[in-house]
Every structure is written in C-alpha cells, then in structure tokens.
Amino acid sequence: MQYGSTSPKFVTLSLLFLLTFCLALPAVASDRGEGPLDPSQPQGITVDEIVQRFAAKEKQFKIAREQYTYRQSVTVDTLEGDSVDGEFKQVVDVLFDDKGHRIEEVVFAPQDTLQRIQMTRQDFDDIQHRMPFVLTSDEIPGYQILYVGKQKEDELGTYVFDVAPKQIEKDRRYFQGRIWVDDHDFQIVKTYGKNVPDLGVGKHKGGQENLFPNFTTWRQQIDGKYWFPVYTKVDDELHFSTGDVHVRQIVKYSNYKRFGANVKITYEGQEVSKGQAQPDTQPQGTQTPPKQ
C-alpha cells in the first residue's frame, strides 16, 4: 500500500518488509497462533504433489471468489507511541451490476484524519487483490517455492512453504513470504509476508517512496468448499527516509454471497450449483483469526 506525508516534501508509501523476513519468523510465530514447526518431509505424498494439488485448488478458488459478493472493511491507524494520531476507515460492498460487471459501492467513509501518511491507488489494489494472496497453477512457474515443514494452525494440520518471485518484471507486483496449506483440503489457509517490490525507493526515484507492509491474512471455509480470506492484520514500522511511521491496519472480508451468474464453477470436478446469491455458511474449518 502507499501513503503520503503532509510535510513539505511529499512522501508516498507502502509498508516496508525486508526480504530477509524469514529470519524474523521464529520471534513472531507465537503471536500468530502457530504451533511448533516440524521440518520433517511429508508422509505418503511428495512435496511436488502437494504444490500441484494446492495450485490446482487455488485456481478453482480464484475463479469461485470472482463470482461472490462480499463486504470489505478497512481501518488504518498511525501511532505515536501508544496513541493513535491518524485514522482512515472505509467500508465497501463488492457487488455486481445488472450486467454482471464487478463494481464497488462505498457504504461508509468518514473523514480521513491521517496526517503523516496517505492512502493511494496501490494500497486499495493490494487490499482487494494481493493481501488475499492466490498462488494458482498458472502462477507457479514464476515463483520459487521452498518446503519448510509441517505445523498446526489451531486444530488444522498444514504444510508450510516459503515463496518468492524468481525474478521481478517491470510494472508487475508479487508476494514474498510464507504460506500454510491445509493438509486435507490442499488450500492455502494463511499467508504471511509482503507485496514486492517497494516502489520509488532510492536517491534516483524523484524523492518519492512507495513502501509495502508485512501482513498476515487468515482464511475460513465458505459454503463448505472454498477457503476465502476473512481477516488481514498489519502491525508494522514504516522506514521512510524522512522518519519511521508506526502503522496498524485491519481488513475484514465478510458476508460472502454467491452471485447468480451464468458461470460454471467446479469443485473437485463437480459443478457448484447455480442460482440466486446464497449467504455464506458458518465456516467449517477451525482456522480462527485473532480478535482485534
């Protein structure tokens, strides 16, 4: 995401996350509800088979989520010590118009009181498209994927992988971090990392900085089939050339409903029933996002 300073030298930002983030994982793992990491190899299945299975499921998930409406609630705070000194809030319903085109309807947007940073287009694009990270079979060739081990997420058994782009192409954005894959459904249930690259960083970039945060996104099972993102949390220090800014952010994705479109959605080889929008069911998984 990207922010801007109100100082004479305008600064745009996204939250900074060092590429060496993996070294810090043990220190913060307990804060995200993770059990001990078991580095042993998976039993009864190869690592390559796990990757191929979850990538295929992710492709199904991506197609399915594009046919759901949902509510997206965003809160961004800047802090000076323990005190909030600026806040951005927005609630958006992601819907379809009468022609079946995806639209966004802002339902709540109080006055923005952020002073040291500013929300920008890249921030909102990340919130909607990249914080709910998807790694499909089409995208696998562009990533390095390293098996880390097995780990409990609440009551879920998961396979853990570190992922990073093999190379960064101009005008493209990527995710770099860690993913947890449910060992039963073979779908990503949690991600931790950041979106890369940071933009406008360095003395030859015209004095603008566009930094991006490390974040954690949790998913829950919707309609008994798909692990959809429901909660993203950011708590990061943004290291601008003009000074550090402590940012906290919460994004909630809720009220998922299937849109009654003439699009075939399959799950495990079977077509998901069509019809009118259906309210999201009680999540069937045991993955529980943290309380605010």
Secondary structure of residue 21 in the 3-state scheme: helix
Whether 124 is covered by a domain: the verdict is: yes
From CA 178, how far away is CA 190, in angstroms rounded?
8
Looking at residue 32, its pLDDT comes to 61
Contact by Cβ (8 Å): 263, 239: no
Contact by Cβ (8 Å): 64, 56: no
- For residue 160, give its domain range: 21-271
Count the residues in the chain: 292
Whether 26 is covered by a domain: the verdict is: yes
Q: What tens-digit pLDDT sequence spans the chain (292 residues)?
A: 444 543 322 233 333 333 344 444 444 555 566 899 999 999 999 999 999 999 999 999 999 999 999 999 999 999 999 999 999 999 999 999 988 899 999 999 999 999 999 887 888 899 988 999 999 999 999 999 999 999 999 889 999 999 999 999 988 889 999 999 999 999 999 999 999 988 776 544 555 788 888 999 999 999 988 999 999 999 999 888 888 999 999 999 999 999 975 445 444 555 544 443 444 444 445 566 666 5
Whether 262 is covered by a domain: the verdict is: yes
Secondary structure of residue 130 in the 3-state scheme: helix
Contact by Cβ (8 Å): 3, 210: no
Q: How many CA atoms lie within 13 A of 24 on its CB side?
A: 12
For residue 196, give the nearest of 179, 208, 214, 209 by alpha carbon. Answer: 214
Looking at residue 276, its pLDDT comes to 39
Looking at residue 270, its pLDDT comes to 57
Considering its fold, how many domains does the chain have in total? 1
Residue type, 68: Y
Whether 15 is covered by a domain: the verdict is: no
The two structure tokens encoding residue 137: 């079979």
Residue 63 burial (10 A CB sphere; 0-12, 13-18, 19+): middle
Whether 289 is covered by a domain: the verdict is: no
pTM here? 0.81
173 Cβ neighbours under 8 A, 6+ residues apart = 126, 130, 195, 196, 197
Q: How many CA atoms lie within 13 A of 270 on its CB side?
A: 4
Contact by Cβ (8 Å): 39, 169: no
Whether 227 is covered by a domain: the verdict is: yes
Whether 280 is covered by a domain: the verdict is: no
Locate tokens 């959605």: which residue?
265
Alpha helices (runs of H) in the chain, residue ranges in sequence order:
25-28, 47-65, 121-125
